[in-house]
Amino acid sequence: MNIATISRRAFAYICLLCIIGLEGLCMQAEVKKSVFGTMPDGTAIEMFTLQDGDVSARIMTYGARIVSLDVPDRNGKIADIVLGYDSLDGYLGDPKTYFGAIVGRYGNRIGHGTFVLDGKRYELPKNDGDNSLHGGTVGFDKRVWAAHEIPNGVEMTLVSKNGDQGYPGTLTAHVRYTLSAHALKIEYSATTDADTVLNLTNHSYFNLAGEGNGDILDEVMTIPADRYTPVNAGLIPTGELAPVAGTPFDFRTPTVIGKRIDQDNEQLKFARGYDQNFVLNHATNGPGMHEAAQVMDPKSGRVLTVKTTQPGVQFYSGNFLDGTAHGKHGHVYEKRAALCLETQHFPDSPNQPAFPSTELKPGQTFHSVTEYVFSTQK
């Protein structure tokens, strides 16, 4: 065999490797559409199943919700790690947990259900004591979103008209879910025809041991935040950006969630555990995707890393779950059966001028990205 023949074969082999590599890069998640049920008015609720290797997610059009999220543990065993229901009726009959939903127009709380914008006072529904929570009594979680398939996922769209739940301006919101390389990405965008306020987030409840499989007190949390926003007894921020150092809210190094959750601390008593907004360090370090939190379950080895462009993350330890929610497979969701990591702007920002602004004006496009990355640890 001469040198020319060897060179030709080597060249062909290199080309084959390149083709295989490009095909790997171009591989897309499989997306399937089905019907999950019908609303009382007969509207069909669509379910989109995203599958990429051994990770899969189901997203439905009612509330643009994550219904299930199946990921492997350290031994390759697959489990669904988000709380929810087996049927649409479960979601329709649950007005308070927001399992897996996109919440808005304003996620989290607005104090006294009111804010002033451009010199005009707006009144919102008070569905959390004296406050407005997650957009009001009929927020985005209770709406049927329009949906269409996109590469690797699905895009959901909702038009919220001027005056909807008291908010000004007709808002058009888009949420894109895509699954690739063990990561579920949520990309938010929105436009308005009049000045308004906006805070969109996802309200999934995670238990890395598997939904219905005990509580999350043994899971290990890391949050890269030097400060958090303390609240009053109504869980409305005081306006202070307080240091986490020396408090139960210091998760700058990996810490078992249950280690300090019942300490004699006023903030923990107000929320019955963790339900605070953390000021992510990257908020002062410039734009882009940065880590917001990491959770590790020592039993299964599953690791969830949350990345975001948002300035804050609300860590909620499932304190108000009380056993009344009977979820998937009949599982009873008791107190602290899961945790939420809601990437966001800060609660009550429209009433807190020192917080990053949540105003959106005509001609502007709100845009944020959050990514849930799944891995394992031995």
What is the distance between the alpha carbons of residues 190 and 41, in angstroms, rounded to a whole number? 27
CB 360 within 8 A of CB 167: no
Residue of 174, 203, 331, 345 marked catalytic:
203
What is the distance between the alpha carbons of residues 179 and 373, in angstroms, rounded to a whole number? 10
Which residues are within 8 A (CB) of 25 and not within 5 positions of it... i.e. 6 or more apart? none
The answer to whether residue 359 is catalytic is no
Burial class (CB in 10 A: 0-12, 13-18, 19+), 273: buried
The answer to whether residue 203 is catalytic is yes
CB 153 within 8 A of CB 31: yes
Residue of 155, 211, 291, 342 marked catalytic:
342
Taken as a whole, the chain contains a residue count of 378
Tokens of 137: 């009594």
Closest among 372, 214, 183 to 299, alpha carbons compared = 214
For the chain, how far is it from start to end, CA to CA, in angstroms?
A: 49
CB 252 within 8 A of CB 280: no
Kindly write down the DSSP assignment for every residue of 179-205, as one continuous string.
EETTEEEEEEEEEESS-EE-B-EE---
Q: Provide the annotated active-site residues.
A: 203, 342
